[in-house]
Amino acid sequence: MRASGAPVAPFLAPRYNPSGMTDPAAPTPARSLFLPDEAATERLGVSLAAILMPRDLVALSGDLGAGKTCLARAVIASLMGGPEEVPSPTFTLVQTYETPKGPLWHFDLYRLSAPDEVWELGLEEALAEGISLVEWPERLGNLLPATRLDIMLRFADAPGARHADMVGHGAWAARIDRIAA
């Protein structure tokens, strides 16, 4: 139930395990990519954008500076058809974009103080009709949808390099192999 007393949409998960990768009993990443530089992260974003559809949710996890916003910007620019001014939604919490595939909602939930606050940002509408990119998805708690693509970005040993560990949940499990860097 939401704070308003209305039932939570049926496509929302009953529990949340952040990216499924912090729990030793959770599945290992379905794909793990080495991203040697920012350009590789951007190529991953372009590849991801090519297969996104309305009602998709991509949960972007990782430490500060791991590349979540860089990846989100690449996805948005690709969907918009070229270079696009993509401000980080760190202070506004959400930015929306009209793309040829439909609306895209870019959430940065770092400053969210309680999961229920996400309803005020339009999450229900985003899940019903748009593409959602969610940074700091662990802030959603049990409100994170069960069907999603988790991408955990983590620092690699080489300067500027990252690892992208991906787990597809629900319909994403069959689509994850179509993502390249």
Q: In the structure, what pLDDT confidence band is assigned to residue 27 with cuts at 50, 70 and 90? A: low
- Give φ, ψ of 80 to 5 degrees: -85, -10
For residue 91, pLDDT over 80 is answered with: no
Does the pTM surpass 0.75? The reply is yes
Return the top range by mean pLDDT from 19-28, 84-93, 102-111.
102-111
Helix, strand, coil distribution of the chain in percent, nearest 5: 30, 25, 40
Q: What is the CATH number that goes with domain 30-178?
A: 3.40.50.300
Looking up tokens 């970005």, which residue turns up? 153
Q: Where are the domains of the chain?
A: 30-178
For residue 164, pLDDT over 80 is answered with: yes
Q: Which residues contact 82 (CB under 8 A, 6 or more apart)?
A: none
Angle between helix 68-80 and helix 38-51 axes, rounded to 10 deg? 50
Q: Kindly state the helix (H) or strand (E) to which residue 84 belongs, with its residue range.
A: none
Top-confidence residue, 52 or 113? 52
